[in-house]
Amino acid sequence: MTFTEGEYLYILDGQGKKHWFKAQKGMLKMVSLGTLDGDRLLALADGDVVKLAGKVMHIFRPNVSDLMTSVERGAQVVTPKDAATIVMECDIPSFRTVLEVGAGSGALSIALLRALPEEASLHTVELREEYAKRAGRNISRAGMKHRWSYTIGDATETTVDIIADAVVMDMPVPWEAMDAVEPMLRTGGMLCAYIPNTNQVESTVNELRRRGYVEVRALENIQRGMEVHAGGVRPSFETLGHTGYLVFARKAARDEE
């Protein structure tokens, strides 16, 4: 499928470096590659060869992992390995409305929006306007801003007029926000908290159990790459180890008797 004007694409060089640009007609000036013919690039398709100064490169439409790892950064971003687990464990593709607490740089927002059906939406509660605006720029770059909205406020006391199928919380004290968040999550809906420290895991899990949530569990993802060469294969010396802990739970109806 050929590209359309306004898409963000990248050219992959022989060293594996990605050179990002916004597709448009006319001449494009790229600091790393020089001046390119935008019309020529628009006529290409995903994975096609691009020859520059005698060097063979390729042009690609980014996948969700590319978009997440290339965001304009401010706050620490949720990594693809954790975002993938959140999407799967919370069954995000089945839902119509997801509430996110904490925008960060918008990397997790991009993963959630990409997983949600086209008619579904994501709403984010974010404490700081600058974070929400940065996340908005990254989401816009990914082409999904029309399905995203946000509210500025403290998640421990801010409520939004929605009933979400899932709530994803990226904040240091999620247990303190439960009074405000819980009414916005439907019964049977999923809750996920992404937190950095074990004591926060304990407080979050205990609070969820106290409130009658079921299937409460906590986990950590550790990812190790493999070095594959003609002479052999070995684990990489660099391991993407601890990034954050994930707590999952499901809201159940309470027995009032």
| pLDDT for the residue numbered 219 | 95
Evaluate if residue 197 carries a pLDDT over 70.
Answer: yes
Nearest to 116 by CA among 136, 135, 142: 142
> Which band of pLDDT confidence, cut at 50, 70 and 90, is reported for residue 255?
confident
| pLDDT for the residue numbered 240 | 62
Q: Where are the domains of the chain?
A: 8-60, 65-250
Q: In the CATH hierarchy, which fold is given to the domain comprising 65-250? A: Rossmann fold (3.40.50)
Q: Which two tokens stand for residue 19?
A: 């050179």
Evaluate if residue 76 carries a pLDDT over 90.
Answer: no
Task: State how far the Cα of 119 lies from the Cα of 173, in Å rounded to an integer.
Answer: 31
Run of H or E residues at 109 = helix 107-115
pLDDT digits (tens, 9 = 90+) for 14-73: 899 999 998 999 988 887 888 888 888 998 999 999 988 788 999 999 999 999 988 988
Find the mean pLDDT for residues 69-95.
Answer: 90
| pLDDT for the residue numbered 257 | 55
- Same fold for the pair 8-60 and 65-250: no
Which DSSP string corresponds to 24-92?
Answer: -SSEEEETTTEEEEHHHHHT-BTT-EEEETTEEEEEE---HHHHHHTSPPSSPPPPHHHHHHHHHHTTG
Find the mean pLDDT for residues 148-152.
Answer: 97
Stretch among 132-141, 180-189, 248-257 having the lowest mean pLDDT: 248-257
| Phi, psi dihedrals of residue 86, rounded to the nearest 5° | -60, -45
| pLDDT for the residue numbered 239 | 66
| pLDDT for the residue numbered 34 | 83
Q: In the CATH hierarchy, which fold is given to the domain comprising 8-60? A: Vcp-like ATPase; Chain A, domain 2 (3.10.330)
Evaluate if residue 147 carries a pLDDT over 80.
Answer: yes
Run of H or E residues at 166 = strand 164-169
Task: State how far the Cα of 141 lies from the Cα of 64, in Å rounded to an integer.
Answer: 12
What is the percentage of the chain residues whose pLDDT exceeds 90? 72
Find the mean pLDDT for residues 225-248.
Answer: 86
pLDDT digits (tens, 9 = 90+) for 96-142: 999 999 998 999 999 999 999 999 999 999 999 999 999 999 999 99
Find the mean pLDDT for residues 236-250.
Answer: 85
